[in-house]
Amino acid sequence: MNKAIHTPAKSLTNTNDKDKLKTLFSTQLKTIFHYLQTNISTASMVSEATGIPQKNITRYKRDLEQQGLLFEVEKKLCKLTGFKAWYISTNKDLLTSITSKDE
């Protein structure tokens, strides 16, 4: 009984396809960044709105936070999932308008 060994897809070994994959991820990152310029949402809500997998959004969230481009606004129940989650944004003006309401 031989079990198949999982190897990277052949399409990813071609340089052209690697470039396509980089372009896809770059496009996803830009989509998330621009969506969060006008919205304060959880990662699940961003996924629902953009069609980008939630796991990818979580990775991009970390990358954007490390670059100082994404901010956690407040932690509360997600309107989509009903679970407690961080609402995030890439727009500092939205962040300051929310925090000034709390004062």
Domain contains 44: yes
- Report the distance separating Cα 23 and Cα 28, nearest Å: 9
Domain contains 4: no
Domain contains 40: yes
Task: List the domain range (segments joined by +) for residue 48.
Answer: 16-102
The count of domains in the chain is 1
DSSP conformation class of 68 = T
- Report the distance separating Cα 85 and Cα 41, nearest Å: 9
Note the pLDDT tens digit of each residue in 40-94: 999 999 999 999 999 999 999 999 999 999 999 999 999 999 999 999 999 988 7
The torsion angle over the Cα atoms of residues 87, 88, 93 and 99, rounded to 10 degrees, is 40
pTM: 0.71
**At 98, which CATH number?**
1.10.10.10
Q: How confident is the model at residue 102 (pLDDT cuts 50, 70, 90)?
A: low
